[in-house]
Structure 1
Amino acid sequence: MTIGFRPMTEDDLPAVRDWLQRPHVREWWGDPDEQYALIDGDRDEPAMDQYIMLMDGEAAGYLQCYALTAWNDGFGPQPDATRGIDLFIAGHERIGRGHGALAIQAFCDLMLQRGVPRVVTDPSPANVRAIRAYEKAGFRRERLVDTPDGPALLMSCDPADLPRRPSEPS
């Protein structure tokens, strides 16, 4: 499977709106209308980069990569230029098959090759599937943190964490 990323455009918004409605996305991202408004509103946010994940050339999900700001001050001190990520896979048929770990690893490889010193994420402590995917991609559990969305598990990936690669999905 080939994994890629392209910048999200306005033309992608109808697909993103549809994906946010899907039960496996809504479970962790919350109200689809509220999340859509945030994603749409972040298109002009300089601290936020938005991507469409591609799997074998097909649009397969959404990924946002952001500079740490006051919104993330609960993450504690991080190296300068640390980036945070959040993502979801659009199709339920790709869930539980290793696709998420592959996408996370591929994106972190890109960021770390570009000189980003650390990538962090903050899934819900109850989101076992996401935590497992991040760990397979080389992330380490740091600690529980408070965010505006509630408690989260801070996880991080540094360049030294990269040799650990997820296995190819079935």
Structure 2
Amino acid sequence: MITWRRLTEDDFPLLISWLEQPHVARWWNHETSVEAVRRDFGPAVRGEEPSEELLAHLDGTPMGLLQRCRLADYPEYLLEVAALVDVPAGAMTIDYLIGEPQLVGRGLGPRMIRSAVQAIWDVHPGAPCVLVPVSAANRASWRALEKAGMRRVAEGELEPDNPVDGRAHYLYRVDRP
């Protein structure tokens, strides 16, 4: 069973170890110094910014990270996404990773995404849908979204997380049941 809890500063060493894993580093392209992780994740952990940082646990053991937020809380990003597809008021987005290398390729990505979407329906009753942009080059990620029941609704150019990737992205959507 996948469960969720808020990320804390005590989790930063674990998060750093995940961000350093080659399968994560390739797509997240994140600095892994303590200072960088504090700078980039600390404000959300302390409630100073609206994104929610959650640890995913598989049978009680940490397995991954989920970031979720309302697109409207990040106006520049909203404009970028809205150039590709209509974004309903209250729409949310997620970003995710499975940190433990031994858990990759075992079908947990779609399970984690389904669980994350259900948690959004439970915790954010005003969210009409979840929209997820993903690099067109990240086949494993967009396949996980499809296996989780999301549908591709647009293709277009967005700023990549990793500069080595092109701007080509797919946009996936699931609507509140």
| TM-score, structure 1 normalization | 0.85
Q: Does 1:7 align with 2:6?
A: yes
Q: Deviations over 1:58-79 (max 9, x none)?
A: 0111110011122321211312
Aligned alpha-carbon RMSD (Å): 1.8
Aligned position for 1:63: 66
Identity %: 28
Please list the CA deviations of residues 52-97 of structure 1 after superposition, one character each: whole Å capped at 9, or x if unmatched. 0010110111110011122321211312111100010011111111
Distance verdict in 2 for CA 1:45–1:139, change over 3 Å: farther
SS at structure 2 position matched to 1:81? coil
- Aligned match of 1:75: 81
For the structure 1 residues 145 and 39, does the alpha-carbon distance in structure 2 shift closer, same or farther, using more than 3 Å as the test? farther
Structure 1 pair 146–39 and aligned structure 2 pair: CA distance change class (3 A): farther
Question: Structure 2: where are the runs of 5+ without partners?
Answer: 161-166
Unaligned 5+ segments in structure 1 are: 161-170
Q: Any conservation in 1 of the 2:43–2:49 contact (CA below 8 Å)? A: no
SS at match of 1:88: strand
Instruction: Point out the more displaced range, 108-117 or 122-131.
Output: 108-117
Does structure 2 retain, via aligned residues, the 8 Å contact 1:74–1:145? no
How many residue pairs are counted as aligned between the two chains? 159
TM-score, normalised by the number of residues in structure 2: 0.82
Pairs within 5 Å for 1:2-151: 2-33=1-32, 36=37, 37-43=39-45, 44-68=47-71, 69-72=74-77, 73-76=79-82, 77-113=86-122, 114-115=124-125, 116-149=127-160, 150-151=167-168
